[in-house]
Amino acid sequence: MASSKAPGTHEPEGAVLGRPAVEIPAAARDRPFGWILLVTGVVSWLAAGALVLERLELYKDPNHITSCDVNPWISCGQVMKTWQAALFGFPNPLIGVAAFAVIITTGAALLAGASFKRWYWIGLQIGVTLGMVMIVWLWSQAIYAIGILCPYCIVVWAMMIPLFVWTTVRNIVHGVLPLPPAPARFLAEWAWVIVGALYVGVIASVFFRFISVFVGA
């Protein structure tokens, strides 16, 4: 009997016999997902690295004007002087430099044909999820508490959204994270829409928080 699956799709690892298969979207397969990890990791690592260098300059000279100080509402330097910028007693970007190096390495390994055990994917999921939680918290602080935007931070926000969504979707459709077929299929089919919706939400929050700046009121 001919298979009813669409060309180029296959059942997720760990699929249970008799349970409806969840087709693996292209972006959740090893090579495309490797590119997602590599691109988001490299861009985020560079942004975090730039923040570390700027933070070092501020340590040397408290009056240093950072490369991303644009105006009173867009200023990495002002954000760096807040307690939220050193949540654990040291500059937050140091976490990013270390964490995104792992993302880059994982992406490069997938592109080279490597495979990882389930425990590794679980560990990566935990790390990416904790990173997303921290990014959401920092976003809320920047928008609603500090009232100043950090351009390099925004770059990391932008990269974390597809990184988190696609890592989660990848682990669901490959059977790493247990989820019933219906919601798993929904996430697999709508992942990019979810990414887009999150971008719209972030942009809308920035616009409405700083609407007086945008309209010149």
pLDDT, tens digit (0-9, with 9 covering 90-100), for 158-187: 999 999 999 999 999 999 999 999 999 999
Q: What is the pLDDT of residue 166?
A: 97
Q: What is the largest CA-CA distance in the chain?
A: 74
Percent of the chain with pLDDT over 90: 73
Q: What is the pLDDT of residue 70?
A: 87
Burial 95-133 (b: 16+ CB within 10 A, else e): bbbebbebbbebbebbbeeeeeeeeebeebbeebeebbe
Domain ranges of the chain: 26-211
- Could you give the CA distance from residue 126 to residue 20 in angstroms, rounded to a whole number? 27
Of 3.40.220.10, 1.20.1440.130, 1.10.10.10, 3.40.50.970, the CATH number of 26-211 is: 1.20.1440.130
The mean per-residue pLDDT over the stretch 107-125 comes to 97
Please report where in the chains the tokens 């690295």 appear, as a residue. Answer: 49
Asked if the model's pLDDT at residue 153 lies above 50, the reply is yes
Facing residues of 71 across strands? 74
- Could you give the CA distance from residue 38 to residue 52 in angstroms, rounded to a whole number? 21
- Could you give the CA distance from residue 86 to residue 99 in angstroms, rounded to a whole number? 16
Q: Which of 56, 79, 51, 90 is nearest to 67 (CA)?
A: 51
pLDDT tens-digit profile of 31-62? 999 999 999 999 999 999 999 999 999 999 88
